[in-house]
Structure 1
Amino acid sequence: MSDENQASTDTNTSWPTLAIAERRVLGIMVEKAKTTPDVYPMSLNSMMTGSNQKSNRDPLLNLTEEDIENTLAALQPRGYVTRIHGGRVERWRHNLYDLWSVNKIELAIVTELLLRGPQTEGELRQRASRMEPIDDLDALRAALKPLAERKFVLFLGPEGRRGTLITHGFHAPKEVEMLKSQARVEDTLAAAPAVSSSSGQLAELESDLQEAKQEIAALRTQMQQVQETLQYTKQQLQILKDSLGG
């Protein structure tokens, strides 16, 4: 299905995990296609520049051209991207409308989450609107509903509650666990001023916060190790594939 204005009603229990560099490359390809179509399809250099820019990105990255090449080599066999032949400069385009069966607004929402990570509804509406107009929060929620049903987006707290963070559905399970823990800590900190210091609850709250912070630190270390192992494995698979003439 190639119509960008249509969305499939298919459901999926989960989506394959995307490495951080893969999220960034796919995100900037969609972003540039929508905001600066004159540079799309994209060259390796423009993808590197877009991936490493300081605005509208979280986390900040410092990918090399080789990193971009390796990422594209991992994405292409899975159908995410296509190389465009014929020009003096190698260029690439994404296949996400066909691969995911999403419409323009839905893809803009997922792209914004790929580029900047967890956000509130208000932040997401404002930021995604630079790619596709989203009139108000009701329009955003109408688009989020099918995305959540198909696991493209995840709510890190109670859905519909003011300030609840939303993220994309391409995290590793450990990463989701870390994000939910971090969201719980932020919720607790937001509620902390309402706790009476004379009630004995403050000491318990501080203990819970310390425990949560330690848990987040441990999960971040684990996620970094997972990402490094995944990247190394992909590189080794590519080397093996090249040696076999594939």
Structure 2
Amino acid sequence: MAVRELSALEARVLAVLVEKASTVPDSYPMSLNSLTQGVNQKTARDPVMNASESDVASALDELKAMSLVNSVSGSRVARFEHNMKRVYGIPGQAEALLTVLMLRGPQTSAELRINCERIHRFADVSSVEGFLEELAGREPALAVKLPKAPGAREARWAHLLSGEPVVPASAMASSPATASSSERDEEIAALRAEVEQLKAAVARIQQDLGIAG
């Protein structure tokens, strides 16, 4: 699979084409105008973008060079369709998962099952996890399970079509926080020991001086 890492806009354009092919098939293949609207859509997008038609057109040119997008002839208005499954060699279930990850950012398996509903309906969360594990086990990997954030019940998944995801420090594994907590516990224990030693010293001084404690 000779496909380079996609830019954030290229990934969004590709994902919108896959999404709209399932959700609004009557408008697919898509025109540049409708595709730009889908890229800048305010709902079901993270992050929200504000790309111009020329930005989207440039992204389309790059995607066409990688065979991820095709131009469709025979219409007065240029229209575009995706070729994601064939280029990446993945089944429709995996395509749906990667699409929703590109549109909405990192999500848990349960969130992905819900958000994929209009593209592909998964029977249960375990089937979602099965396809995610398969994507993560490919060479090169197309998805990754992120470290569980402190206090989070489930780990989230991210796509790797645009390279390694940037994980905020607050979402990193809890081991550093655990280490800091352990250090604080040791400091508190040391302070308590010092207080007990001072109390004993004061008691001895009071005893020597005949002062009642």
Same fold (TM over 0.5): yes
Is 1:172 the counterpart of 2:163 in the alignment?
A: yes
Q: Which residue of 1 aligns with 2:109?
A: 121
**TM-score (normalised: structure 1):** 0.66
Q: What is the aligned partner in structure 2 of residue 153 from structure 1?
A: 143
Residues 201-226 of structure 1, C-alpha deviations (whole Å, 9 max, x = no match): 89xxxxxxxxxxxxxxxxxxxxxxxx
**Distance (whole Å) between structure 1 residues aligned to residue 109 and residue 175 of structure 2:** 19
1:32 paired to 2:20? yes
Aligned counterpart, 1:87: 75
> After TM superposition, what 4+ stretches of structure 1 lie above 6 angstroms from structure 2?
none
Paired with 1:15 and 1:91, the residues of 2 have a C-alpha distance of 23
Aligned residues: 181
Q: How much does 1:87 deviate?
A: 0.5
- How far residue 183 of structure 1 moved from its aligned partner, in angstroms, is 2.3
The answer as to whether partners of 1:15 and 1:170 remain within 8 angstroms in 2 is no
Counterpart of 2:111, as a letter, is E
> In the TM superposition, what is the alpha-carbon distance from 1:62 to its structure 2 partner?
0.4
1:163 to 146, 154, 159: 154
Matches of 2:101 and 2:72, distance apart in 1: 26
Taking structure 2 as the reference length, the TM-score comes to 0.76
Residue 182 (structure 1) shift: 4.7
Kindly provide the amino acid, as one letter, of the partner of residue 24 in structure 1: R
Distance 2:161 2:131 in 1: 18
1:56-67 alignment to 2 at 5 Å?
Answer: 56-67=44-55
- Which amino acid is 1:163 matched to? E
Structure 2 spans left out of the alignment, 5+ residues = 189-213
Structure having greater relative contact order (Cα 8 Å, sep ≥ 6): 1
Contact map agreement 2:15 2:103 (CA 8 A) in 1: yes
The amino acid that maps onto 1:157 is: P
Counterpart residue identity of residue 199, structure 1: D
Q: Distance in 1 between matches of 2:71 and 2:162?
A: 26
Within the candidate set 67, 78, 97, 2:85 is matched to: 97
Deviations 1:216-243 (CA, angstroms, capped at 9, x unpaired): xxxxxxxxxxxxxxxxxxxxxxxxxxxx
Residue type of the partner of 1:136? D
The separation in 1 between residues aligned to 2:119 and 2:56, in whole angstroms, is: 23
Unmatched tracts of structure 1, length 5 or more:
1-11, 203-246
Whether the aligned pair in 2 keeps the contact of 1:15 and 1:169 (CA below 8 Å) is: no
Structure having the higher Rg: 2
Is 1:138 the counterpart of 2:129 in the alignment? no
Partner of 1:219: none
